[in-house]
Structure formats: structure tokens, C-alpha cells
């Protein structure tokens, strides 16, 4: 079988690349050993966000009392919740299959492996020949010494999303994005959650200002989630009361389940890299150049398999960029302006530079902030925690970065991302008429504040 392009892996990197390449007239085969949509649709973005929104109702129901509306205590039917979440996933997986079909992509549901230049061996015994091969095999959760997923007390994010039980005490090892999102969900479901993070701060490695992290930490504390930073899980002991995790100096934390969320490693083993001479880096990532080409001519790699933020939309953007370059077109890809959303309570979303990073880089910046509490819409929603922050170049007033912590931050960041990605100025945002009363007014007011002319906050 001969194709222009063979893609291994149908996550948001691979399937998006496949659709766009087919739209551009290339013959494409997409090889996937599991379900279409990859980790994102099946065990990542979608199930977490479905459960995030379902469990938000529990919190809202409790909160409604203060607005004069009382519900009885919510009853959680775990089986029904789980099958609703599975329904969401299968709707999207079926939709992806339909889109691939409609665009003329050939899909093979089997394992694929590079077998020298221009060839993929399938586990069915067949081979596929293609002018170009795209590796989009994604990533898997990491274990740490002494803690393995073979231990029935230890969960990966996959186990947590399977929603088999609500542990009374849940210990999360890892205070990164995935850990915090699952902590939020299980806390709402009623678990007593403790998070251990070995670094001095939660969300390590993400360019967020201290004020943003501090706002989240205050909220986590108020929700009854215990966060212990500078704390590494050393070993696990089984006792008659359940597992106990040693954290050094004779200190230990008892739990009913332990959720290991310490990161993910790229799926670069056993995909035949050696057959074309590609050497993964020391963490297992496949190195690529600016054109996403590996060291082997005609072999490209995208998504979680290559260095960079492990985000679905980053993988998709790489797929779109690659598709365009295959036909001599351009699709912009700027890693500095990829937005990120974190589904904690409150949500955090950011794009571009933090204030601290901009100053570290020696940039002369102006900063504007605006609190949710000053927005009429936020007051009416009883969602007054958090703020909007914009960072701009002092001279040109070009927006360099935005951080939003508060309700719907994940959606609100889109306007800031558009501005940062297109080099727009504070004035462009401030002078654009925003509908009232809405949460996006917070971004406009933060831009006004940076310019010293906020209307609904005192300018200092
Ligand atoms: C719990 C959780 C929550 C997340 N939430 C978000 C979020 O809210 N937003 C966000 O942007 N990102 C989120 N992510 C990250 C996101 O899921 C990943 O960045 C994204 O899925 C990476 O896409 P990908 O295409 O590179 O790989 P994947 O989605 O991992 O897909 C790779 C596919 O390749 C297949 N495959 C692997 N090897 C082979 C082979 N040899 N042959 C055939 N098929 C193969 C796999 O079965 C898989 O389907 C989350 C991740 C997790 C775990």
C-alpha cells in the first residue's frame, strides 16, 4: 500500500494532521492501536473536563444556599456519572471517525512500527509504504521508585478517570496540572485530598506569577485540600488500616488510594526508531528541527512525543503546521504564545509571558490587574474570586502576556491569546466595546488599568 503520508497515532496531534493533510490533497493513512482521539479524548482532556463540569454542580448546589435557593444534599450515582462520561467520550470518538472518513483518510486500527525509511510494519503482518511518516504516538504516565501501578492501591490518571470508587482519603503524589485537576474533582466528590509536591511550589515548570499561585493555594485550602510542598513521597507501607506513605523525618501520610501524577513520558520505545537511526533524548523525547523533522529524512514527529508543553492543542497546531509545510504553505507555530488552561477551582489560564518572566528577560513592562469582584457579572454569579492580569511592553503597549485566575478563565483566555499571537496592543483591547455584563469585561478593564484609566477600579 502506497500513501503520501502515514501517521502513527490518532491523538489530537495525529488525527488533526491527518484531516488537514487529506484536505490539502494528500493520500493519508492513520494507524491507531487503541481508540481514535488518543489520550486526550479517551483518558485525558475530555473525561477530566466532563467530570470537572459535573462535579462543579455539587459545589454550585451548596453555594446556591447563599442566593436563597436550597437543594437537598446531592446524591452521587458513580455508575451513572461514569456512563455519562463514557457517553461524552464515545460521541466524540465516533465524531472523529466520521470526520476522518468524510475527509478520505484511511484508518487502520492496529499497532504500527517504523521499519526503515518510508515503511511502517503493522501488527497484522502487512506493511505500508509512504513518502513521509509522521510519528504521533503520545505519552504515558510515569512511575517512581517504590510506587508502581501494579500496586492495587496506586492509581494512574487512567484509574482515577475510570471512576470505580470515591476513596475516603486520597493522596496525590504530584502537584502539577493533572494532579491538581483530579484533586479538584475527587475533593468535590467527597474525598479528603492531600497533595504532595516535591518542588517548592505547586504547578512547577509553568510560567505563572506568584500572585496567581497564591490565589489558587488559598482556594484549595478553603476547599479543604491539603497541599504539602517540598515534600517527596519516599516509600509506601501496607498496614491493616491501608497504605501509608513515608515522606521522611518519621513523617507519613495514610490514605485509602494513592494517585501518582508525577508526569508523563513520551511513547518512543518500540516504535522502530532504531530502524531509521533516530535517537530519543535522555527523557525519551524524539528530537525534531523547526520543521518537525526528525534526524531521519522523511520522518516527522509531533505532539507529546516531542519536547514542549504536553498539551492537546500544541500537538494539533504542530499537525496543522506540518500539513501546511508538506504542500509548501505556511501555518504559524509560535511556542511562546500557546495558551494553557488549568481546570482547578478557580480555573487558571495563561498565555505569553508572566510579569516575573518578562522582567527576568529585562523587558520594560507595564502591568494591569482587575479583580473579578469588581465585575457585575461575577457578583451575580457568586464567582468573585480571582483577577485578570495583563503584561505589556511599556513603550509599544504590545500585549506580552495574560494570566486569568477565576471562573471561566479557560474560555476567557481566548481573547488574550488572539491578542498576544497577533501582537495587538493594550489599546486594541481597551478600546474594543465588550458586551455588558460579561466576564470578558475583566480583560478590557485590566488593559485599561495598565494604561492608568480603568473605569471600575481606582487607578493607582
Ligand atoms: C488526565 C489528563 C488530562 C489532560 N487534560 C488536558 C487538557 O485539558 N488540555 C490539554 O491541552 N491537554 C490535556 N492533557 C494532555 C493531552 O491529553 C495530550 O497533550 C495529548 O493527548 C497529546 O496528543 P498526542 O496526539 O501527542 O498523543 P496522544 O493523545 O497520547 O495519542 C497518541 C495515540 O497514539 C497511539 N499509539 C501509540 N503508539 C502506537 C503505535 N505504535 N501504533 C499505533 N498507535 C499507537 C496511542 O494509542 C494513542 O491513541 C491531559 C492529559 C491527561 C493524562
- Long-range contacts of the stretch 186-192 (C-beta < 8 A, 24+): 186/160, 186/259, 187/223, 187/224, 187/225, 188/55, 188/56, 188/58, 188/59, 188/345, 189/55, 189/58, 189/76, 190/76, 190/166, 191/166, 191/167, 192/168, 192/224
Q: Are residues 275 and 246 in the same domain?
A: no
Task: For the chain, report the end-to-end CA distance as a whole number of angstroms.
Answer: 68
Q: Are residues 257 and 275 in the same domain?
A: no
Instruction: Give the pLDDT confidence score for residue 101 in this predicted structure.
Output: 98
Q: What is the pTM of this model?
A: 0.97
Q: Are residues 175 and 27 in the same domain?
A: no
Place of cell 474560555: 411
- What cell was used for 338? 500557546
Q: Are residues 127 and 272 in the same domain?
A: yes
| CATH code where residue 435 lies | 3.30.390.30
Q: Are residues 121 and 77 in the same domain?
A: yes
| Ligand 1 atom 20: residue of nearest CA | 312
Sign of CA pseudo-dihedral 207, 208, 213, 216: negative
Distance separating alpha carbons of residues 13 and 302, to the nearest angstrom: 6
Domain total in the chain: 3
Residue 376: count other Cβ atoms within 10 Å of its Cβ: 12
Q: Are residues 279 and 240 in the same domain?
A: no
Q: Are residues 68 and 109 in the same domain?
A: yes
Total number of residues shown for the chain:
460
Residue 6: count other Cβ atoms within 10 Å of its Cβ: 29
In a domain, 146, yes or no: no
* Ligand 1 midpoint to CA 73 (Å): 36
In a domain, 456, yes or no: no
Question: Who contacts 74 (Cβ-Cβ below 8 Å, separation ≥6)?
Answer: 57, 58, 61
pLDDT tens digits in sequence order for the chain, 460 residues long: 799 999 999 999 999 999 999 999 999 999 999 999 999 999 999 999 999 999 999 999 989 999 999 999 999 999 999 999 999 999 999 999 999 999 999 999 999 999 999 999 999 999 999 999 999 999 999 999 999 999 999 999 999 999 999 999 999 999 999 999 999 999 999 999 999 999 999 999 999 999 999 999 999 999 999 999 999 999 999 898 889 999 977 899 999 999 999 999 999 999 999 999 999 999 999 999 999 999 999 999 999 999 999 999 999 999 999 999 999 999 999 999 999 999 999 999 999 999 999 999 999 999 999 999 999 999 999 999 999 999 999 999 999 999 999 999 999 999 999 999 999 999 999 999 999 999 999 999 999 999 999 999 999 7
* Ligand 1 midpoint to CA 78 (Å): 25
Q: Are residues 7 and 124 in the same domain?
A: yes
In a domain, 315, yes or no: yes
Q: Are residues 159 and 223 in the same domain?
A: yes
Atom of ligand 1 nearest to the CA of 110: 43
Q: Are residues 10 and 118 in the same domain?
A: yes
In a domain, 457, yes or no: no
| CATH code where residue 190 lies | 3.50.50.60
In a domain, 360, yes or no: yes
Distance separating alpha carbons of residues 245 and 47, to the nearest angstrom: 28
Q: Are residues 121 and 257 in the same domain?
A: no
Q: Are residues 77 and 160 in the same domain?
A: no
Contact predicate 175/195, CB 8 Å: yes
Contact predicate 372/381, CB 8 Å: no
Which of 199, 233, 262 is the last residue before a domain boundary? 262
Closest CA to 202 of 391, 348, 359, 338: 348
**Mutational pocket test of ligand 1: of 6, 16, 18, 137, the residue with most ligand atoms within 8 Å of the beta carbon:** 137
In the beta sheet, which residues pair with residue 246?
A: 235, 252
For residue 216, give its domain range.
154-262
In a domain, 392, yes or no: yes
| Ligand 1 atom 52: residue of nearest CA | 44
Atom of ligand 1 nearest to the CA of 319: 25
Amino acid at each position: 500500500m502506497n500513501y503520501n503520508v502515514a501517521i502513527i497515532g490518532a491523538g489530537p496531534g495525529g488525527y488533526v494532521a491527518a484531516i488537514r493533510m487529506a484536505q490539502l490533497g494528500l493520500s493519508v493513512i492513520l494507524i491507531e492501536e487503541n481508540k481514535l482521539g488518543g489520550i486526550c479524548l479517551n483518558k485525558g482532556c475530555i473525561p477530566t473536563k466532563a467530570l470537572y463540569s459535573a462535579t462543579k454542580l455539587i459545589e454550585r448546589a451548596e453555594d446556591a444556599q447563599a442566593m436563597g435557593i436550597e437543594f437537598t444534599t446531592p446524591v452521587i450515582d458513580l455508575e451513572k456519572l461514569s456512563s455519562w462520561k463514557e457517553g461524552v467520550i464515545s460521541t466524540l470518538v465516533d465524531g472523529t471517525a466520521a470526520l476522518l472518513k468524510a475527509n478520505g483518510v484511511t484508518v487502520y486500527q492496529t499497532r504500527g512500527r517504523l521499519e526503515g525509511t518510508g515503511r511502517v510494519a503493522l501488527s497484522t503482518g502487512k506493511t505500508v509504504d509512504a513518502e513521509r511518516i509522521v510519528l504521533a504516538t503520545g505519552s504515558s504516565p510515569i512511575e517512581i521508585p517504590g510506587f508502581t501501578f501494579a500496586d492495587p492501591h496506586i492509581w494512574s490518571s487512567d484509574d482515577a478517570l475510570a471512576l470505580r470508587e470515591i476513596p475516603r482519603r486520597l493522596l496525590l503524589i504530584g502537584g502539577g496540572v493533572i494532579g491538581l485537576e483530579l484533586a479538584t474533582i475527587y475533593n468535590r466528590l467527597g474525598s479528603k485530598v492531600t497533595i504532595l509536591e516535591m518542588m517548592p511550589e505547586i504547578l512547577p515548570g509553568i510560567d505563572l506569577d506568584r500572585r496567581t499561585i497564591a490565589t489558587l493555594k488559598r482556594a484549595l485550602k478553603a476547599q479543604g485540600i491539603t497541599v504539602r510542598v517540598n515534600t517527596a513521597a519516599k516509600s509506601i507501607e501496607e498496614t491493616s488500616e491501608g497504605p501509608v506513605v513515608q515522606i521522611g523525618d518519621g513523617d507519613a501520610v495514610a490514605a485509602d488510594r494513592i494517585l501518582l501524577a508525577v508526569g508523563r513520558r513520551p511513547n518512543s520505545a518500540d516504535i522502530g526508531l532504531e530502524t531509521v537511526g533516530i535517537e530519543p533524548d535522555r527523557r525519551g523525547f524524539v528530537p525534531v528541527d523547526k520543521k518537525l523533522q526528525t534526524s531521519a529524512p522523511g520522518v516527522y514527529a509531533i505532539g507529546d512525543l516531542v519536547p514542549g508543553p504536553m498539551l492537546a492543542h500544541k500537538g494539533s497546531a504542530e499537525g496543522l503546521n506540518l500539513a501546511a509545510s508538506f504542500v509548501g504553505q505556511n501555518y504559524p507555530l509560535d511556542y511562546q504564545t500557546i495558551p494553557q488552561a488549568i481546570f482547578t477551582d478557580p480555573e487558571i489560564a495563561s498565555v505569553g509571558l508572566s510579569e516575573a518572566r518578562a522582567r527576568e528577560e529585562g523587558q520594560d513592562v507595564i502591568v494591569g490587574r482587575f479583580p473579578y469582584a469588581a465585575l457585575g457579572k461575577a457578583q451575580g454569579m457568586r464567582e468573585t474570586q480571582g483577577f485578570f492580569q495583563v503584561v505589556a511592553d511599556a513603550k509599544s503597549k504590545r500585549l506580552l502576556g495574560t494570566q486569568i485566575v477565576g471562573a471561566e478563565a479557560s474560555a476567557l483566555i481566548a481573547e488574550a491569546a488572539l491578542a498576544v499571537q497577533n501582537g495587538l496592543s493594550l489599546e486594541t483591547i481597551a478600546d474594543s466595546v465588550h458586551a455588558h455584563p460579561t466576564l470578558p469585561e475583566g480583560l478590557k478593564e485590566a488593559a485599561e488599568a495598565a494604561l492608568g484609566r480603568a473605569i471600575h477600579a481606582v487607578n493607582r
